[in-house]
């Protein structure tokens, strides 16, 4: 028999308000955002540039592909899965899209529909790999970690191979201007990429928090057996999260390809751990049932703030690695602590 929460011994009167305020802050949805603000305030004296428009827009530009992938990953993590194949999807989609629209020996070189067709092809790659992942998990009963590890290995390799049929170099260049304009152009002062990522973020947020499908995602992640008995189509829900993750990775591929003006099989190669790190820093659980899109936004922002400020400080790559690792560890420890607080509340 455990003591009930209501009979908890009260803390010493003087400590109580402060402890309470600290607990409230720790438990707040916006904890990571608060961390971001605190971090900027702390780092500002050393790198005042961090608050300049130039740097801010750089952070935004770096953030968008990462954010879009992280949004997709959030869905998969909430159903207690994981998608390691995202970087391979980005590579594969980038080279397939480029092979369609490149001006040099592209499938549709010079055609008016080249760019739309390429975009569709890129989306198709993401959805197809997502479908393989989802079907393997749902129908073949395979753990998502291994499925996506295998598809990651497969499509990362395939992307490199694919380029050899379309280019003499290691990537496919000569992309149409109308495509690369996506990275540079803006609408009403808002870069296209930011607008698109914002739209995806809002859509994902609404989908997760305000629709039946969203409730299903959480229910499946928290307890698939109970979800099934409540009439939730468990298999279809899992399937859809992998499709969403795949499609998001495709969108990130478009962003990378247009920015680099080339379809590279190593586009986004190194972002996997950043993505998972960012989502987890935001507070989404690896064990399913818990997570939010805004949390992911904050997590990505926080990781990039650290990244950028360290670069501005002239830190080398290794310093950034060390600090990033430390921050992920710290965030996870704080999250564990938060969890204890919530349980004992």
| 205-224 positions binding another protein, by CB under 8 A | 206, 209-212, 214-215, 218-219, 222-223
In three-state secondary structure terms, 186 is strand
Please, which residue, 130 or 176, has the CB nearer to another protein?
Answer: 130
Binding of another protein by 170 (CB under 8 A): no
DSSP for 266-277, written as a single string:
TTTTT-HHHHHH
Which residues from 300-319 bind another protein, rule CB under 8 A?
Answer: 316-319
CB of 266 to another protein, least distance (A): 12
Residue 184 or 223 having the CB closest to another protein = 223
CB 133 within 8 A of CB 145: no
Taking CB under 8 A as the rule, which mask of x and - marks residues 54-93 in contact with another protein? ------------------------------x---------
Nearer to another protein, 6 or 54 (CB): 6
The pair of structure tokens assigned to 203 is 């859509």
Residues near 307 by Cβ (< 8 Å), separated by ≥ 6?
62, 320, 324
Q: Provide, rounded to whole angstroms, the least separation between the CB of residue 185 and another protein.
A: 31
Q: Is 271 in the site for another protein (CB under 8 A)?
A: no
* Shortest spacing between CB 108 and another protein, in angstroms: 25
Among the candidate windows 34-42, 58-66, 247-255, 275-283, which touches another protein by CB under 8 A? Answer: 275-283
CA torsion sign for 140, 145, 146, 149 is: positive
CA distances (Å), origin 259, targets 103, 121, 152, 253: 17, 18, 23, 10
> Phi, psi at residue 143, to the nearest 5°?
-65, 140
């Amino acid at each position: 028999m455990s003591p009930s929460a209501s009979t908890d011994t009260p803390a010493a009167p003087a400590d109580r308000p402060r402890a309470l305020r600290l607990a409230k802050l720790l438990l707040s949805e916006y904890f990571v955002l608060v961390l971001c603000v605190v971090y900027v305030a702390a780092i500002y004296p050393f790198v005042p540039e961090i608050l300049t428009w130039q740097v801010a827009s750089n952070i935004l530009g770096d953030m968008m592909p990462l954010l879009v992938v992280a949004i997709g990953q959030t869905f998969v993590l909430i159903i207690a899965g994981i998608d390691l194949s995202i970087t391979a999807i980005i590579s594969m989609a980038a080279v397939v899209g480029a092979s369609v629209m490149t001006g040099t020996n592209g499938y549709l070189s010079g055609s008016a529909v080249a760019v739309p067709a390429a975009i569709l092809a890129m989306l198709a790659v993401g959805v197809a790999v997502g479908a393989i992942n989802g079907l393997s998990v749902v129908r073949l009963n395979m753990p998502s970690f291994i499925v996506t590890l295998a598809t990651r290995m497969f499509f990362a390799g395939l992307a490199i191979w694919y380029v050899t049929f379309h280019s003499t170099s290691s990537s496919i260049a000569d992309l149409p201007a109308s495509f690369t304009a996506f990275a540079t152009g803006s609408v009403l002062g808002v870069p296209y990429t930011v607008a698109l990522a914002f739209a995806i973020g809002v859509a994902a947020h609404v989908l997760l928090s305000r629709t039946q499908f969203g409730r299903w995602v959480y229910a499946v992640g928290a307890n698939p057996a109970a979800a099934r008995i409540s009439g939730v189509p468990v298999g279809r829900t899992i399937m859809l999260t992998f499709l969403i993750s795949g499609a998001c990775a495709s969108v990130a591929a478009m962003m990378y390809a247009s920015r680099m003006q080339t379809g590279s099989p190593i586009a986004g190669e190194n972002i996997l751990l950043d993505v998972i790190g960012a989502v987890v820093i935001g507070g989404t659980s690896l064990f399913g049932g818990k997570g939010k899109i805004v949390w992911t936004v904050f997590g990505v922002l926080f990781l990039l703030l650290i990244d950028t400020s360290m670069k501005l400080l002239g830190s080398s790559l290794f310093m950034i690695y060390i600090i990033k690792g430390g921050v992920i560890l710290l965030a996870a420890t704080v999250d564990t602590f938060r969890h204890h607080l919530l349980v004992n509340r």
